[in-house]
Each structure stands twice: as structure tokens, then as C-alpha cells.
């Protein structure tokens, strides 16, 4: 008897659960369409938002391409044309030894456009060779001095020191202008008549268009 009673109770509980599920479904059924409509609206809104983002990005890319075509390329082209207009020709045209404290020192020189080379030999401390170099801007473009490089830049223990005068970085040389510069080479070593010190030195001047 107890077993039959328990089985009946179990069936009753299951029937009650089914009735509860049916009631829940009946409760939500009137709102099912609203839920589906809300879901559809959310999906459509997401798609529209994505589409607008894509459209904006494409429009921005198109504007950038138009700007580049209208402004950037002509400006770059104009800059190139401007750089190429006229004749670029600036160089050393003359050089001479104007030393006053030369002693027994000797030197020779050569030059080619913007590079000058000096071969010097010193015998006694304090000797100094001074060169005067004439630079001429023969071209049609104004220039500025970008850099002045001496090689070797430094000689160990300052056995030889240099001095550049009358021209410096940033100086302007207009078309057809001439400029005299001085380049001094001083010996600070301890040589004797039997111990001479020789060195090759170059000076290179770089220019930019003004």
C-alpha cells in the first residue's frame, strides 16, 4: 500500500509541474511577439550602426585621397621644381699661402670645388701656416653654409690645431657672391730639425639652398 501511495504522489507532482510550465508559457506567450520585435530592432540598429561606421570610414579615406591629389602632390612637385630651378655652382676658385709665422714649415695645397687638401710639414713648435681661400657662388641659387668639416677633426695631444675664419655655419652666400676665408694650421709639437711632423688635412664645406 505504501508503494502505491508513493507512486501516486509522484505522478501528482509531475502533473503539477507540467501544469506550472503550461501556465508560464501561457503567461509569456502574449509577449513573445514583442520580444522578437525588440530583438529584430536591436539587430537592425546594430547593422545600421555598422553600415554608418563603414560609410564614414570610406568617406574619410576618399577625402584624404582627394586632399593628397589636390594639395600634397602639387606641393611636392613644386618643391622639386623649385630645387631644380637655376644652376647650382659654388666652389673654391683660388687659394694662397699668406703665412707670417711660418718658420721652416712647408706646405702644398690643392682644391676641387668644395674640398681643399693641404699637405703640411712642421719643424719647430709654434710654426703656423695660414691659407686664404676664395669661395665663389657662380650659380643662380642663393646658398647657406650647412657645415664645415676638417679631417682629421682632432689630432692626438693637439699636436696640430686649426682655425677657420670669415665663414661659419649658417652664413649666406648669394648668387655671384665671393667670400674669402682663412684656414690656419698651427704646430704645437716638440719637433727638431731632424724630427719633422707631416700631415695631410682636408677641409670640406657643405651647402644648402637658401
Q: What ranges in the chain are assigned the alpha helix state H?
A: 2-28, 32-67, 73-84
Q: Residue 152 in contact with residue 93, Cβ under 8 Å? A: no
Shared domain check, 118 and 77: no
The residue out of 50, 84, 118 marking a domain boundary is 84
At 19, is the pLDDT very low, low, confident or very high (cuts 50, 70, 90)?
low
Q: What is the pLDDT of residues 21-45, one digit of tens each?
A: 555 545 555 555 565 565 566 656 6
Shared domain check, 97 and 7: no
What is the distance between the alpha carbons of residues 181 and 184, in angstroms, rounded to a whole number? 10
HSE, side-chain direction, 13 A CA sphere, residue 43: 6
Dihedral angle at the C-alpha atoms of 99, 100, 105, 111, nearest 10 degrees? 0
Shared domain check, 154 and 125: yes
- Give the domain range for residue 126: 90-209
Give this prediction's pTM.
0.59
Q: What is the pLDDT of residues 145-168, one digit of tens each?
A: 999 999 999 888 889 999 999 999
Handedness of CA 88, 175, 118, 167 (dihedral sign): negative
Q: What is the pLDDT of residues 61-70, one digit of tens each?
A: 888 887 777 7
At 97, is the pLDDT very low, low, confident or very high (cuts 50, 70, 90)?
very high
Q: Which three cell numbers stand for residue 41?
A: 530592432
How many distinct structural domains can be found in the chain? 2
What is the distance between the alpha carbons of residues 62 and 57, in angstroms, rounded to a whole number? 9
- Position with higher pLDDT, 97 vs 47: 97
Q: What are phi and psi of 150, to 5 degrees?
A: -110, 130
Shared domain check, 99 and 72: no
Amino acid at each position: 500500500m505504501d508503494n502505491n501511495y508513493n507512486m501516486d504522489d509522484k505522478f501528482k507532482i509531475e502533473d503539477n509541474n507540467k501544469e506550472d510550465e503550461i501556465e508560464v508559457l501561457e503567461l509569456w506567450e502574449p509577449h513573445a511577439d514583442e520580444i522578437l520585435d525588440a530583438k529584430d530592432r536591436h539587430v537592425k540598429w546594430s547593422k545600421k550602426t555598422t553600415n554608418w561606421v563603414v560609410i564614414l570610414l570610406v568617406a574619410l579615406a576618399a577625402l584624404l585621397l582627394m586632399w593628397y591629389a589636390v594639395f600634397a602632390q602639387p606641393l611636392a612637385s613644386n618643391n622639386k621644381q623649385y630645387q631644380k630651378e637655376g644652376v647650382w655652382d659654388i666652389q673654391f676658385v683660388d687659394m694662397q699661402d699668406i703665412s707670417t709665422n711660418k718658420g721652416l714649415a712647408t706646405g702644398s695645397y690643392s682644391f676641387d670645388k668644395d674640398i681643399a687638401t693641404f699637405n703640411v710639414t712642421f719643424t719647430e713648435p709654434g710654426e703656423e701656416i695660414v691659407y686664404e681661400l676664395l669661395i665663389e657662388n657662380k650659380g643662380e641659387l642663393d646658398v647657406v653654409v650647412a657645415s664645415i668639416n676638417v679631417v682629421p677633426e682632432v689630432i692626438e695631444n693637439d699636436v696640430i690645431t686649426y682655425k677657420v675664419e670669415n665663414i661659419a655655419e649658417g652664413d649666406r652666400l648669394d648668387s655671384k657672391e665671393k667670400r674669402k676665408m682663412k684656414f690656419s694650421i698651427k704646430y704645437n709639437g716638440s719637433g727638431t730639425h731632424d724630427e719633422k711632423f707631416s700631415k695631410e688635412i682636408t677641409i670640406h664645406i657643405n651647402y644648402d639652398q637658401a
